[in-house]
Structure 1
Amino acid sequence: MQQVIIIGASGHGKVVADTILQSGDRVRGFLDDNPELGESFIGFPVLGTVDQFVDYPDTKFVVAIGNAKIRENIVEKLAGVSWYTAIHPRAVISFLDTSIGEGTVVMADAVINAGAKIGNHCIINTGAVVEHDNRIEDFAHISVGAKLAGTVHVGKGTWIGIGATVKNNVEICEECMIGAGAVVVKNILSKGVYVGVPATYKQEVR
């Protein structure tokens, strides 16, 4: 049994905690910089601020924060720690040439098919489908119910919104946001927010 400290006491943190427990491991507690948190969160101790990670050298960590930039900054701050990869037992993951990077979270009912490569500190959220030969770069977030067809490449830090669909053989560059329910039918090679059916550029990422 592995002991895990979760960075981020929030709604997403609740789901990550459940994923850890469902996997048979132990949640040691949370670290969070919110001064309004009490001494416990969903029944687990709040152990202090993020900087207090140094007090737990024998414990694994996972970052439960949806924002990719914040997640990346925290990972850089915690350089050298041992990262926990959280995979819910109800996720369906192919045994054929797949890989999932450290610190990544794969939620219940997600599907990761043959040949898919998932980077470090990604979120593959509840019910998301990552089809064969997809490449998901570090810190990307595939939201609840999003569906990526075969041979899709998602760049670093990109967020695919809830219920979005990406057709096969499409590339999406880094640091993009694909809106909820959007349908991506061609390559997206410039950073920005893309919405609609088919997905088109709306604005810069803020």
Structure 2
Amino acid sequence: MKEKLLIIGASGHGKVVADIALKMNKWPSIAFLDDDQNIKSSLGKEVIGTINDVFKYLDNWDVFVGVGNNSMREKIQDKLETEGASIPILIHPNAVIGKHVEIAGGTVVMAGVVINCCTEIGKGCIINTGASLDHDNLIGNYVHVSPGTHLAGTVTVGQGSWLGIGSIVSNNVKIASGCKVGAGAVVIKDISEIGIYVGIPARKLE
């Protein structure tokens, strides 16, 4: 870990990421990169360049991708990894993390989250405010678990999927990669093909 943290993205999600980093109190210096030149600072921290400037900072800065869009976050982080960037894990001090939980680089765990034992979370994920993941979950890379979402035990979520705010997933359910689960949906059986799933119980939109 380095003493400076550079956050890519200075808008809504990036600000929450910065707030968590500040509360972790591990980086004396924090700054942003953003392509919107009208944003000069965010959360009291300076925007020091555009996203393409990141590569000149890699020697001295940790870099975190504070972009909410799953595919865009994946594209940026994969390129950073190729260039050897140091990509931390951000965990809000008020999150509850069980034993034998594995979390990969570039993932943010926000305030009020509970992750129970033996769960594995891939890289570049967003585990958003107040979400809960019970025991033995397997969360693929670049997944977004939205605020207030609840996953029971032994749930698998494939890469790049997005679980909407307040959605619920029953135990032993598998969700394929690249899926979107709508706000408030309740998933009670496996989702095996890409699509948008809504309702109680969740059904694929045609």
User: One fold, TM greater than 0.5?
Assistant: yes
- How far the C-alpha of 1:199 sits from its partner, in A, is 0.4
Question: Could you tell me which amino acid in structure 2 is paired with residue 119 of structure 1?
Answer: G
- How far the C-alpha of 1:35 sits from its partner, in A, is 3.0
**Quick one: distance in 1 between partners of 2:127 and 2:93?**
14
Give RMSD over aligned pairs. Answer: 1.2
Question: Could you tell me which amino acid in structure 1 is paired with residue 129 of structure 2?
Answer: T
The reply on whether 1:88 has 2:92 as its aligned counterpart is yes
The reply on whether 1:62 has 2:64 as its aligned counterpart is yes
Where in structure 2 are the equivalents of 1:154-193 lying within 5 Å? 154-193=157-196
- How far the C-alpha of 1:44 sits from its partner, in A, is 0.8
Structure 2 unmatched runs, 5+: none
Question: Could you tell me which amino acid in structure 1 is paired with residue 91 of structure 2?
Answer: I
The sequence identity of aligned pairs, in percent, is 49
- How far the C-alpha of 1:113 sits from its partner, in A, is 0.3
**Quick one: distance in 1 between partners of 2:143 and 2:25?**
26
**Cα deviation per residue 1:77-115 (whole Å; 9 max; x = unaligned)?**
3231000110001000002x2100011000011000011
**Quick one: distance in 2 between partners of 1:31 and 1:19?**
17
**Which of residues 78, 86, 105 is equivalent to 1:76?**
78
2:204 corresponds in structure 1 to: 201
1:135 corresponds in structure 2 to: 138
Question: Could you tell me which amino acid in structure 2 is paired with residue 71 of structure 1?
Answer: R
Structure 1 unmatched runs, 5+: none
- How far the C-alpha of 1:42 sits from its partner, in A, is 2.3
**Cα deviation per residue 1:3-57 (whole Å; 9 max; x = unaligned)?**
21111111111111110011112352111112332x3222111111111112212
- How far the C-alpha of 1:76 sits from its partner, in A, is 2.3
1:48 corresponds in structure 2 to: 49
1:113 corresponds in structure 2 to: 116
**Quick one: distance in 1 between partners of 2:24 and 2:135?**
25
- How far the C-alpha of 1:196 sits from its partner, in A, is 0.4
Q: Is the 8 A contact 2:18 2:43 kept in 1?
A: no
**Quick one: distance in 1 between partners of 2:157 and 2:91?**
20
1:150 corresponds in structure 2 to: 153
Task: Find the residue that maps to 1:62 and give its secondary structure.
Answer: strand
TM-score for both structures, normalised by structure 2: 0.94
1:13 corresponds in structure 2 to: 14
**Quick one: distance in 2 between partners of 1:88 and 1:179?**
26
Task: Find the residue that maps to 1:83 and give its secondary structure.
Answer: coil
Question: Could you tell me which amino acid in structure 1 is paired with residue 37 of structure 2?
Answer: P
Task: Find the residue that maps to 2:48 and give its secondary structure.
Answer: strand
**Quick one: distance in 1 between partners of 2:112 and 2:178?**
26
Question: Could you tell me which amino acid in structure 2 is paired with residue 128 of structure 1?
Answer: A
